[in-house]
Structure 1
Amino acid sequence: MITLIAFLVVLLSGLPIFSALLFAAVAFMFEFDLTFLFENTLPDQLYGALNKNGLLAIPLFMLVGELMNRGGLTEKLIMAAEVLVGRIKGGLAYVNLLTNAMASSILGSATAQISIMSSTMIPEMVQRGYRKDFSAAVTMAGGLLGPIFPPSMIMIIYGVIAYQPISSLFLAGILPGVFIVFLFALLIFIIGCFTELPRGDKIGFKEAIKRLANAILPGLIPIAVIMLILLGVTTPTEAGAIASLIAFILGAFIYKNIGIKDIGPILLNVGNSTATITILIASATVLGWALGFEGIPDMIIGALIGLTDSSFWFLMLVYAVVILLGMFLESISVMIVLLPILIPALGAYGIDPIHFGVMVTVATVIGVVTPPVGAGLFITMQNTRLKMSQVFYAFIPFLGILFVGMIVIALWPELSLWLPEVSKTWGGGK
């Protein structure tokens, strides 16, 4: 009880989440007279939490995203997407969705993706005659794809905490991601049947060929990442390093949008973001270790099994808890706090940890766009000058169809597990 109070007091005080996690771990040790562990085991746990090769993928894929944006590569993907689907009714909404799907293979973060796309796609859609609230809703929905498609920061963290191969998690997110894109596109089509959505401008043949040609090299980056992992040629970390090199060469030498003066800010942004994530992982590992020392996870597993012996209802309960916490904590924090408690319960319900990783990833991103503290929601409000009620009300249909997708993913494990199994056949799974 003291641990929970300590955690909530520090969290509500406005201090960073890692402070709350570490303070709760220390309070737990005092409460259960485990202070003899301070001198040696506590530093070892902090060091051991970060001494994992899988974590190297985080700064590398963040670097890919920074280089793609600074190098103008993301813009070329947007222009190519407009060629593919821009002319149909509601075309720019589909362009928004398709661009987000492509960008998610670069950025891997819902908040970063919503920030970039809301500042570029929403003004363009409004200028073409789309309602501002609808444009905001489509952009937020597309931004949620960021952590689902590889590379995904959340999946990297899940793999490290749950001791699962990150390559398998990356591959497991692809088909569920495509399925969610289909559901969002279906919803846009249905909305278009009942409301008037504009058509895009006609793009000449030469211009269309030019745009598609310009997108070939940037488009090769996410394709290369996926294929290198799928075929087992590289680990995710190595794929991130290769993708970073390609993005730098394209941005600096081919398109000449990255200069010497840009390298410092790029590395500083990557360093700041990486430090934020890694201190969270280290502090949460200490708390999880302290709880495990006293057998708290086993007690929680027993309580869950007492509530239901159905794997489906267990997963629905997990969805509810993750979404609820996601309304108050950011996605990575939710993952770090819950996983040490939930992972041990999977065996009792016969749930594959890779499938579970995809489910938890999808559930955590909902918090990015839900009140009261959803970062993606506030970024969209800031970029559109709309009220929270206006943005969220327009987003409700997308949230509803996302819930449908989450239930399908829970009931259909093969959707997540097929590609990882194929990868093993081809020699992947590094």
Structure 2
Amino acid sequence: MTTLVLFLVVLLSGLPIFSALILAAFIFLLEYDLTFLFENTLADQLYGALNKNGLLAIPLFMLVGELMNRGGLTEKLMSAAEVLVGRIKGGLAYVNLLTNAMAASILGSATAQISIMSKTMIPVMEQRGYKKDFASAVTMAGGLLGPIFPPSMLMIIYGVIAYQPIAALFLAGIMPGLFIVFLFAIVIFFTGLFSDLPRGDKIAFNDGVKRLGSAILPGLIPLSVIVLIMLGITTPTEAGAIASLIAFILGAFVYKNIRIKDIPSILLNVATSTATITILIATATLLGWALGFEGIPDMIVEALAGLTDSSFWFLMLVYAVVIFLGMFLESISVMIVLLPILIPAIESYGIDPIHFGVMVSVATVVGIVTPPVGPGLFITMQNTRLRMGTLFSAFVPFLLILLVGMVVIAIFPQMSLWIPELAENWGK
């Protein structure tokens, strides 16, 4: 228990997450007079944490996102979405939501998606007559889809830590992701009923066909990832490599938006982001090992069993803890800190680990846009100059319906498991 308390104290002191993780593990060794393990065990733990093939997917899918943004492919998807739903009342809000859903299958990160889309969609919606707070709320809601649709960075990290197949986790996020898109669309619909949301401009037939046609090639990238994995043709890592190649060819040679001079900065961004994630995973493994030595996971399982023997209420408790921590920590950090503790517990409650991975991924994104420290909230505030109260009050309807959706996902695990089971039977 000392290790866990120490970790929380160090974390609250403001040190970087990885520093808190490794410092807690070191002091644990000193406390139990296990310094003789410094040389071998620590190195083995760090090496073992990173010596996993699933981690190769992280830089590859980050590279896909960088290449698509630099190559202007995301803008073509947005243009196509406007053709499909832009003419109805509140059409640009639906366009925002659909574009975010398509971008989610490229970026895989909520904060990155909110940052990018708030700079592009909010000014356009303002120009078309939408209130800034509503436009910002729609953009934040859509940005939360990033870690749910494949390829999700959170799903990859969950798969590595929980020893679950990443391909199954990717496929498990599709139905819940579409369900959440539907729920957000309901909020937009009812907002349009009670307020005067603008309609989009009429798009000429030829222009509409041209826009839809221009989105076919960019749309092949997320489609190729899902199809290749679902049919069992490639692993997620191989699918990421293929998607990166397609994105590079389109951005550099078809649309000619990526130049040779852009490549170093693209690779640097990918390397920096990957290094941040991998050092968190490695140091979290050390903490997980220390907590296991102290028997913390078993103690927590026993404590939870004392509170409830219902798997549903256990999942509600997990939701509450994950959302609370997500208010203060980045979503990847929340997952890395909690999973070594929660994984043993879900086994005792008979919860499917694939379904649990989807639930945790959805829960972590709530904290991203929740005060007092939600990073997605502050990114949007910075880009729009809105006050926190104004922005969050506009977002509340989306938050409430998301919480309802999370309960529905918990009640119906087949929402997560149907496509992975279909793919498994297909491959037989």
TM tier relative to shorter chain: over 0.9
Residues 321-330 or 25-34, more deviating: 25-34
Deviations 1:228-260 (A, max 9, x none): 000000000000000000000000000000001
Residue matched to 1:128: 128
CA deviation profile, 1:185-208 (whole Å, cap 9, x unmatched): 011101111111000011101110
Q: What is the match of residue 265 of structure 1?
A: 265
Mapped pair 1:338 → 2:335: no
SS at the partner of 1:372?
coil
The alpha carbon displacement at 1:5 in A equals: 4.6
2:150 alignment partner, SS class: coil
Unaligned runs of 5+ in 2: none
Matched, 1:289 2:289: yes
> Within 5 Å, which residues of 2 pair with 1:24-173?
24-173=24-173
Q: Which residue of 2 aligns with 1:237?
A: 237
Q: Does the 8 Å contact 1:64/1:240 carry over to 2? A: yes
Give the whole-Å Cα distance in 2 for the aligned partners of 1:41 and 1:137.
Answer: 48
Counterpart Cα distance in 2 of 1:340 and 1:8: 15
Looking at structure 2, the residues matched to 107 and 69 of structure 1 have their Cα atoms a distance apart, in angstroms, of 9
2:3/2:291 contact within 8 Å kept: no
Instruction: Give yes or no for contact 1:58–1:156 (8 Å, CA) kept in 2.
Output: yes
Q: After superposition, where does 1:284-363 map in structure 2 within 5 Å? A: 284-363=284-363
Question: C-alpha offsets along residues 204-239 of structure 1, whole Å, 9 cap, x if unaligned?
Answer: 011101100000000010000000000000000000
Distance of 2:107 and 2:328 partners within structure 1 = 23
Amino acid at match of 2:74: T
Query: Does the 8 Å contact 1:101/1:142 carry over to 2?
Result: yes
In structure 2, distance between residues paired with 1:24 and 1:43: 16
Work out whether 1:227 is the aligned partner of 2:224.
no
Cα displacement (A) at 1:411: 0.1
Match in the other structure for 2:254: 254
Mean Cα deviation higher: 292-301 or 54-63: 292-301
User: Residues 5 and 299 of structure 1: is their aligned pair in 2 closer, same or farther, counting only changes over 3 Å?
Assistant: closer
- Distance between the aligned counterparts of 1:164 and 1:2, measured in 2? 30
For the residues of structure 2 that align with 1:12 and 1:414, how far apart are their CA atoms?
A: 38
User: Is residue 150–residue 171 contact of structure 1 (8 Å, CA) maintained in 2?
Assistant: yes
Equivalence for 2:190? 190
SS at match of 1:269: helix
SS in 1 for 2:215: helix
User: What per-residue deviation string (whole Å, max 9, x for no partner) do you get for residues 86-124 of structure 1?
Assistant: 000000000000000000000000001001100000000
Contact 2:159 2:165 in 1 (8 A): yes
1:359 shift after superposition: 0.2
Contact 1:70 1:257 in 2 (8 A): yes
| Structure 2 counterpart of 1:267, one-letter code | L
Please say if 1:275 is aligned against 2:258.
Answer: no
CA distance in 2 between counterparts of 1:229 and 1:4 reads 38
Distance in 2, matches of 1:166 and 1:97, equals 26
Which letter does structure 2 place at the counterpart of 1:188? I
Specify the alignment match of 2:20 in structure 1.
Answer: 20
Q: Give the match for residue 395 of structure 1.
A: 395
Which secondary structure state, in structure 2, belongs to the residue aligned with residue 381 of structure 1?
helix
Residue 3 of structure 1: CA displacement? 2.7
- Tell me by how many angstroms 1:8 deviates: 3.4
Partner-residue secondary structure (3-state), 1:218? helix
1:386 counterpart SS class: coil
- State how far apart, in whole Å, the 2-side matches of 1:153 and 1:211 are: 30
Q: Is the 8 A contact 1:171 1:419 kept in 2?
A: yes
What is the identity, as a one-letter code, of the residue corresponding to 2:307? L
CA distance in 2, matches of 1:235, 1:383: 38
- 1:321-375 CA deviation, whole Å, 9 max, x = no partner? 0000101111000000000010011121110000000000000011111112211
- The Cα RMSD (Å) is 1.0
Q: CA deviation at 1:2?
A: 4.1
> Which residue pairs with 1:218 in the alignment?
218
Kindly indicate whether the alpha-carbon contact (under 8 Å) linking 1:3 and 1:31 is maintained by their aligned counterparts in 2: no
Letter in 2 for 1:293: F
Q: Which moved more, 1:374-383 or 1:67-76?
A: 374-383
Q: Does the aligned pair in 2 maintain the 1:50–1:278 contact within 8 Å?
A: yes
Q: Judge conservation of contact 1:2–1:31 (CA < 8 Å) in 2.
A: no
AA at the equivalent of 1:395: F
Which structure 1 residue ranges, 4+ long, deviate > 6 Å from structure 2? none
Distance 1:31 1:324 in 2: 30
2:294 partner letter: E
- Supply the distance in 2 between the matched residues of 1:340 and 1:421 (Cα, whole angstroms): 26
Cα distance in 2 for residues equivalent to 1:113 and 1:210: 26
Match of 1:376 in 2: 376
* TM-score normalised by structure 1 residue count: 0.98
Q: Is the 8 A contact 1:52 1:160 kept in 2?
A: yes
1:7 CA displacement: 2.2
Counterpart of 1:271, as a letter, is A
User: Identity of aligned pairs, percent?
Assistant: 81
Q: Is the 8 A contact 1:176 1:415 kept in 2?
A: yes
Paired residues of 1:2 and 1:27 also in contact (CA < 8 A): no
- Secondary structure (helix, strand or coil) at the match of 1:253 reads helix
Partners in 2 of 1:70 and 1:347 — Cα distance?
43
Aligned partner of residue 197 in structure 1, secondary structure: coil
Gaps of 5+ in 1: none
What count of residue pairs does the alignment treat as equivalent? 428
Q: Distance in 2 between the 1:360 and 1:168 partners?
A: 15
2:115 alignment partner AA: S
Cα deviation, residue 19, structure 1? 0.2
Shift of the 5–316 alpha-carbon distance from structure 1 to 2, 3 Å rule, reads closer
Letter in 2 for 1:112: A
